[in-house]
Amino acid sequence: MSLHFAALLRRHGLLVAFALFLALVAVQAEAFLTPSNVLDVLRQVSIIGMMALGVTFVVVAGRLDLSVGSMLTLLTVIVVDRTNAFGPGLAILVTLLAGLAAGAWNGLLVGVFRLNALIVTLAMLSFLQGLTLAYSGGSNVNVADGTTWFAAFGRGSLWGIPAPVVIFALSAAVLAFVLKRTRFGRAIFAVGGNETAATYSGIDARLVVFAAYCLSGLTTAIAAIIMGSRVMGAQNTIGQGYELTVLAGVILGGTSLLGGSGSIGRTVLGVAMLGFIQNGLLLMGYPYYVQWLVTWGIIILAVWIDLGAKRGRILA
Q: Could you report the per-residue pLDDT of 36-47, keeping only the tens digit for each? A: 999 999 999 999
115: left (phi over 0), alpha (psi -120 to 50) or beta: beta
Q: Considering Cα of 159, then 161, then 164, then 168, what sign does the dihedral take?
A: negative
**Predicted pLDDT at 29:** 83
Q: Could you report the per-residue pLDDT of 246-296, keeping only the tens digit for each? A: 998 898 888 888 889 899 998 999 999 889 988 988 888 888 788 778 777
**Predicted pLDDT at 308:** 66
Among 179, 161, 311, 166, which Cα is nearest to 253's?
A: 179
**Predicted pLDDT at 13:** 63
How many other β-carbons are positioned within 10 Å of the β-carbon of residue 7? 11
**Predicted pLDDT at 303:** 72
Torsion (CA) 298, 304, 305, 309 in degrees, nearest 10: 160
Which stretches of the chain drop beneath a pLDDT of 50?
1, 314-316
Residue 262: alpha-carbon gap to chain centroid: 14
**Predicted pLDDT at 10:** 58
Report the alpha-carbon distance of residue 107 to residue 102 in Å, rounded: 9
Alpha carbon distance, N-terminus to C-terminus of the chain? 20
Q: Report residue 232: phi and psi, to 5°.
A: 55, 40
Tell me what percent of the residues of the chain surpass a pLDDT of 70. Answer: 92
Q: Where are the domains of the chain?
A: 33-239
Report the alpha-carbon distance of residue 160 to residue 147 in Å, rounded: 20
SS3 255: coil
Report the alpha-carbon distance of residue 294 to residue 148 in Å, rounded: 39
Question: pTM of the prediction?
Answer: 0.91
**Predicted pLDDT at 315:** 43
Report the alpha-carbon distance of residue 210 to residue 48 in Å, rounded: 22
